[in-house]
Amino acid sequence: MDGEELIASVLHKIEREKALITAASNMRQSTDNPLVQQRVDANIRDGRKNIAYLEEKMRELEIRQRNQSAGSPGQRGGPAPPPKDHGGYAGDHGDYNDPHYPQGGSGSMPSGAPFPDPRPYAPIPKARPNYTKLDLIKYDTPYLGPKIQLMLSQLEFKLSVEVQYKAGIEKMVRLYQDEGDRKSRADAEGRRIESNQKIQLLKQALKRYEDLHVDIESGDAPDDESLSSPNMRKPLTGLLTMRIHAVKDVDHAASSRFSRGPETYVVVKVEDAIKARTKATRNDRWLDEGFSMDIDKANEIELTVYDKSGDRPTPIGMLWVRISDIAEEMRRKKIETELNASGWVSADKMADGGSPRHDHPSSPMGSSHGASSGGRPGTAGHGGHHGGESTNVPPTQMIESWFALEPVGRVQLQMSFAKQLKDRRPFDIGLNRQGAVRQKKEEVHEKQGHKFVTQQFYNIMRCALCGEFLKYAAGMQCADCKYTCHKKCYSKVVTKCISKANYETDPDEEKINHRIPHRFEGFSNISANWCCHCGYLLPFGRKNAKRCSECSLTCHAQCTHLVPDFCGMTMEAANQILETLIRTKNHNKSASVSSGLSNRTLRPSGPPQPPQDNAALSYPQKPMEGPYGALPRQPSAEAVSAATNSFMTPQSPTAAAQAAQRQQIPPKSPSGSSAAAAAAAAASGLRSPQQTPTEMSRPMPPPQAPQAPQHAHYDPSAYANFPQQPPPQAMQKPQQSYPMAPPPQPAQPMPQQQQVAPPAKDEVAQAKSRIGLDHFNFLAVLGKGNFGKVMLAETKSSRKLYAIKVLKKEFIIENDEVESTKSEKRVFLIANKERHPFLLNLHACFQTETRVYFVMEYISGGDLMLHIQRGQFGLKRAQFYAAEVCLALKYFHENGVIYRDLKLDNILLTLDGHIKIADYGLCKENMWYGGTTSTFCGTPEFMGPEILLDKKYGRAVDWWAFGVLIYQMLLQQSPFRGEDEDEIYDAILADEPLYPIHMPRDSVSILQKLLTREPELRLGSGPTDAQEVMSHAFFRNINWDDIYHKRVPPPFIPTISSPTDTSNFDQEFTSVTPVLTPVQSVLSQAMQEEFRGFSYTADFA
């Protein structure tokens, strides 16, 4: 529908509403019945509200039409762009447009782009009103547009569910009729009648909203991204308290002329189970109808208003309330109460003259209501108060309002919800230590390239295979392409994971010749539609919904390239055809193999002769000739069988030694199947599937001396002698811990006993300097983590002090953290590469049979969390620490590492007053500009919104955490707080950080730009990375070269009484005796192999 047609449609809707108001006014004048007059007045009020909404849409359409005709850049964005002096990217307005504060900052700052080059200079989107889902279902909500969009989607879904429920009831009625069970049939018939009445109400309500809906793209209602985030909106458990006071403006059921009128009552359901019912009343009011209900992992409450005028009750109005929305409203009320007692305001309130600015896009919900509506409050007092002091907040606050019933009417409710929390913490506790969280690695079920993991869904999903619903249930989701299905369905999936690059090169016989691509087009989604691939409910409107014009399949815009080309065929039918094809193919293959083997004589059972030398494999000058002098494309079945048997049977000592030598090259011993396949390939003269052409032409290491068979006992020297891997930047595959083959050397005789690496004299030197557990005395426990602890130790010979991180191998393996531990070591090596002044350096790694050890430099000044709890940092001190942290993050990012766990607890203070960032356990490698990852991890108060919304994220998450860190150092409290993790996550996604009214504008500006919720608009997110942050006016007086070389005098110097003084560490840990607890379990040889190559000693150690 083009602009002219839309305007004509809106004009028609306005005229219809005016006609309805005129008719209602005439009816009011012609009757004296007070009930009729009350109902007519409600219709007139609703009509005027609808006209105001439609006239607003009309103005928006006219502005858009003028922009299109004039060819302005604001074609799709509504109003024209603001004046240029409001420009810059979305975060620039933190400087309040003061001409004395240049946008890029000044002073001793590095050369280069002050802000990222690709920053779009598009119109700054207007701030969206600050409302919640609970606000939208209130009767007097001013947000009619978003309410229409919400209710269209919700009513369409409720209608589809009710239709299915009615179909099931009708089957029950027929069943009971056939069985002759009159009582059960009558009960089912009653439920069928009630279901039919509810369907009529839902259709009536749906038509009402469809008549008001204007089909234009609008930013008023953002997608409810929490619905498609597995980590948000979990079912809640707690105590729900509700009081029902009255209903009003409802359409009562018809009653006989001489009756007293129908009796009205309300039924409350939680997840389809009746929890409460009011008394019947004839005046639509209840004096004392209060209920307390225990809620156990529930999502939604349903209230249904009934009229009873005959034998059966008739539903006349319905309301649905999400429990998480009640909990969020309670949290906001608590914040609002505390805000009223504080002198803190949101950043937009700090603009010139105190007038709020509405152009800040960093929040999904702006601050049109001011800071008192949903902003994060400060605690009582201003910037100088201690974080532990608090404002007295009433323990319980009730939500009281009139809520809209569907299709007409309203109900007055008073309700509250107290969540049941295991680890409830005071809301205003100030700064305290928090552990990091990391998404537990699920068991992966591989099927046709998909990596299916079990995922708990907290909303209605649709299976991509069978099309049935998953209602608040666990399902299977591909970790790569997000294909979602039932647990029972994933084993039936035979379509390939299309996110894989080799999809098009797979054998044709595993695909269907029905390759008709879908014709996906954008459409206006005004009903409940689900994505046919990822299973999530599609967002409302045109923004992100696609539909095939041929088969009407719907999906997200980002999922279109993942949908197979099966237009005109259901996924279930396609999978059934593919399954039949694969089954037939496998049957024919097995039949041909068995018939071929029956006509041949098997080879002798003795072991085959080994190859004469490795040169035949390393230097394939001439291909091994087959029976016809040509290289066979595939080994024969009997060759595979014989090679597999020979691999499994005992070999001669020489052959065994050579096989053992070959198996030592990769870091892990191959599985039986891959080893057998490699043996079969070797027997047929082919290279193994894992071997690249480059590897074929590369010389193999020289042969080693025969070795005795390996036993299950632990030999530390075998791991210590393993040659060290090259630096990560020099490796093509950082995960490999085995040495690459040496370059070609001139042929020369080599003794059989000679080892590959290292040379004999280097090995002796290494043996002399090898570090082990017996070199240290443990003095104290400095901290504890998920898998182990950090202890203070001194060397027995030199009495040097080190911090040793001790991790149990058993826990590392059980939690699938082997690769994470290796990655932590590689990040240490990156920090060691240039001995960065603000990163903790590693001196050595070693291992015992049960543990691995990181020997790190000992920083005795304690962490910043300890020092900020002792007293608030001033501006200069916070700025000094922030500058050093910025340079550390800059170094990490320049080496492709994102840190992901920046917090005060992980920043240590040296005795000369400088910082060192520690704990690299959550670091992620190979994260250059534009690179993304999706692991849910971090410390709750520091996690970026993109992590919480389960989106792909990049290194911009470190700059979000950097903003939280600066806020905490300046104000001694967190910008986002809550009683549990869920409340903290809600605050991060919804609340505006607040600041003391006297806070310097440069400080507010950098916090605004770092705490921008859109990662692409965040300060530091561009290709110049840290240069953007370093160029900000907050650091105007910083000379970065002096900071890097520690030429700036630190503002604070920690003190200790002796080198072994641990008073700067938590007494909870230092009071513990430093001993290694015995480990009862014994790791197998295969488990020990996981840690091969872990030992390391730094050059400077």
> Could you tell me which residues are annotated as the binding site for ATP?
805
d(CA 235, CA 296): 8
Q: H/E element holding 450?
A: strand 450-456
The pair of three-digit structure tokens given for residue 367, joined into one six-digit string = 């601050």
The pair of three-digit structure tokens given for residue 832, joined into one six-digit string = 């060691």
The pair of three-digit structure tokens given for residue 855, joined into one six-digit string = 């020997």
d(CA 1093, CA 1099): 17
Single out the catalytic residue among 46, 901, 982, 991: 901
Residue-wise over 456-473: b if at least 16 C-beta within 10 A, else e? ebbbbbbbbbbeebbebe
User: Could you give the angle at the alpha carbon of 703 between the alpha carbons of 698 and 708, nearest 5°?
Assistant: 135
Short-list 181, 231, 186, 252, CA closest to 458: 231
d(CA 59, CA 53): 10
Contacts of residue 145, defined as CB under 8 A and 6 or more positions apart, other chains included, come to: 53, 57, 218, 220, 221
Beta bridge partners of 401: 413
Instruction: Show binding-site residues.
Output: 805
Residue-wise over 801-825: b if at least 16 C-beta within 10 A, else e? ebbbbbbbbbebbeeebbebbbbbb
Report the Cα 460 to chain-centroid distance in Å: 19
Short-list 472, 485, 474, 490, CA closest to 532: 485
d(CA 557, CA 523): 11
How far lies 961's CA from each of 840, 883, 939, 956, in Å? 19, 14, 9, 9
Short-list 415, 397, 396, 417, CA closest to 295: 417
How far lies 116's CA from each of 32, 1028, 1046, in Å? 70, 7, 28
Report the Cα 900 to chain-centroid distance in Å: 13
The region that residue 969 occupies, defined by phi over 0 for left and psi between -120 and 50 for alpha, beta otherwise, is: alpha
How far lies 56's CA from each of 52, 405, 878, in Å? 6, 25, 48
d(CA 1091, CA 822): 8
**Pairing outcome for strands 410-419 and 776-784:** unpaired
Short-list 631, 634, 688, CA closest to 663: 688
| Residue in this structure with the two tokens 């909303």, named with its chain if needed | 459
**901 in catalytic set:** yes
Short-list 1026, 930, 1067, CA closest to 113: 1026
Q: Which amino acid is at 1090?
A: E
Q: Which amino acid is at 897?
A: V
Q: Is 570 helix (H, G, I), strand (E, B) or coil?
A: coil
The pair of three-digit structure tokens given for residue 233, joined into one six-digit string = 């909106």
Short-list 269, 254, 248, CA closest to 404: 248
Q: Is 400 helix (H, G, I), strand (E, B) or coil?
A: strand
Tell me the residue ranges of DSSP E strands in 348-409: 399-404
Q: Is 344 helix (H, G, I), strand (E, B) or coil?
A: strand
Residue-wise over 665-699: b if at least 16 C-beta within 10 A, else e? eebeebeeeebbbbbbbbbbbbebeeeeeeeeebe
Q: Which amino acid is at 225?
A: E
Active site residues: 901
